[in-house]
Structure 1
Amino acid sequence: MKLLIANKNYSSWSLRAWLTLRGFEIPFEEELLLLNGEGWKEAMLERSPTGQVPVLIDGDLVIPETLAIIEYVADKYPQKHIWPADRNLRARARAASAEMHAGFTRLRNAAPMNLRASHPGKVSLDYVADDLDRLQKVWGDLLDRSGGPYLGGAFSAVDAMFAPVATRIRVYDLPVPDFAAEYVEAIYALPAFQEWYADALKESWIVEQDEIDFIQGRKQ
């Protein structure tokens, strides 16, 4: 299998799929498609049917959607327990993952993933307050039901889906209760996440449209 990803510093959706594969020790090859440089959009369209990443390629099968990639590998490797084993908890984890995929738009737009950065105080707390409140409820419910330290107890796909949010909390120093801060630390302690993070810190590319100063300046 091959996973097409983008810049590790910025590409939150790439992180979600990659972390699922690496976290469960599923063998795959990664290929980086840059989000910057001359002709990057055209190059992306040549490799991805949607012009976006991640894309999983397995033989003649091409899957260009994060949740679809996760479900495919969960079906292909049932012994890995990529979703929580308990049926009720698994349903809640899938619902939370779908909500992450479609929701939390203010938080995602106002606080782009940028692993090399440190931007405390740069995000309007009033603007993201509802998303942070909802995040607290989603994480709190799953952690209470599973017993932690991850949302499904052991690491699972729902943690991969929320890992980029954990980075936003740290990078922008967003206020969260202690249990959520502990969950952020658990994400950063994952060996697979540490591998991705180390690679991101080594990247030299700057994607201006994903930098907070550019985003805030464009809105003025």
Structure 2
Amino acid sequence: MKILIGNRNYSSWSLRPWLVLRHFEIPFEDEVLMLSGSGWREALQRRSPTGKVPVLIDGELAVAETIAIIEYLAEKFPDRAIWPRDQGDRALARSAAAEMHAGFSTLRSRAPMNLRASHPGKVDLDAVAGDLHRVETLWGSLLEKSGGPYLFGAFSAADAMFAPVATRLRTYELPVSDRVAGYVEAIYALPAFQDWLAKALQEPWVVDDDEIDVIQGRVAPGTLA
């Protein structure tokens, strides 16, 4: 089994299923496909049915889209409890994951995932206030119910889906409650996340489209190293 991923520093969608594979000790290989540079789009289209990452390859089967990959893994490895075992919690976890997949668009666009960076004060708080409020409400209610440290007690696919949001809160030092800050710490403490982060910090590549200084016009494209 192999998963095709984008640059670890930036590719939030790649991080999600990779965490599931790594945390739940599912044997796999990964391969990084560039998200910038000469001919990167064409190279990606040759390897991915959607022209995007991630893609899970299992024999002759190629599964695209993060949610679909996670569901495939949950069915293939039912003993791993990738989703919570309790039916009600499982429904809530899938609901939260689906909301993440479809929502939080302002936070995602205004504060792109960038694990190497520290950019306090560079995000318009008024613009992301609605998404931050929903993070507080959703995470707060689930953590209160479960007792933490993760949304449903033990780490699950729902946490994998929200892990990139946790990184955004840290990279841009966005204002959150102590409860949410504690959850961010729990994500960063996860051994699987630490493994991904260590590799991301070693990457030399820069993707201008995900660098806030380029997005906001403070730095010209192609000048960051």
Task: Please give the range of the TM-score, normalised by the shorter of the 2 chains.
Answer: over 0.9
Residue 10 of structure 2 corresponds to 10
C-alpha separation in 1, matches of 2:207 and 2:2: 24
**TM-score, L = length of structure 1:** 0.98
RMSD: 0.9
Q: 2:217 aligns to what SS in structure 1?
A: helix
- Residue matched to 2:78: 78
Separation in structure 2 between the aligned mates of residue 146 and residue 71 of structure 1, nearest angstrom: 22
The answer (yes or no) to whether the contact 1:93–1:142 under 8 Å persists in 2 is no
CA deviation vs aligned residue, 1:134-180 (integer Å, no higher than 9, x gap): 01111011111211100010000000000000000000000000000
Q: Which runs of 4+ in 1 moved over 3 A?
A: none
What residue identity is the alignment partner of 1:49? P
Whole-angstrom distance in 2 between the partners of 1:85 and 1:183: 21
**Structure 2 CA distance, aligned partners of 1:167 and 1:210?**
14
**Aligned counterpart, 2:192:** 192
Alignment of 1:103-142 (within 5 A): 103-142=103-142
Moved more, 114-123 or 29-38: 29-38
> Is it true that 1:100 corresponds to 2:104 in the alignment?
no
Tell me, in whole angstroms, the C-alpha distance in 2 between the residues paired with 1:89 and 1:143: 12
Please give the secondary structure, in 2, of the residue aligned with 1:10. Answer: coil
Residues in 1 aligned to 2:214 and 2:87: alpha-carbon distance in whole angstroms: 44
Paired residues, number: 218
The 2-side partners of 1:48 and 1:146 are apart by: 38
Unaligned segments of structure 1, at least 5 residues = none
Unaligned runs of 5+ residues in structure 2 are 219-225
Looking at structure 2, the residues matched to 60 and 32 of structure 1 have their Cα atoms a distance apart, in angstroms, of 20
Alpha-carbon distance between aligned partners in 1 of 2:105 and 2:21, rounded to the nearest angstrom:
25
**TM-score, reference length from structure 2:** 0.96
Q: 1:89 aligns to what?
A: 89
Correspondence 1:47-66 to 2 at 5 A? 47-66=47-66
State the identity as a percent.
Answer: 69
Task: Provide, for residues 85-106 of structure 1, a one-character-per-residue CA deviation record: whole Å limited to 9, x for no partner.
Answer: 1111111111000000000000
1:49 Cα deviation (Å)?
0.7
Give the Cα–Cα distance (whole angstroms) in 1 for the partners of residues 86 and 145 of structure 2: 11
Displacement after TM superposition at 1:217 (Å): 2.3
- Look up the match of 1:32: 32
Cα distance in structure 1, aligned partners of 2:56 and 2:111: 27
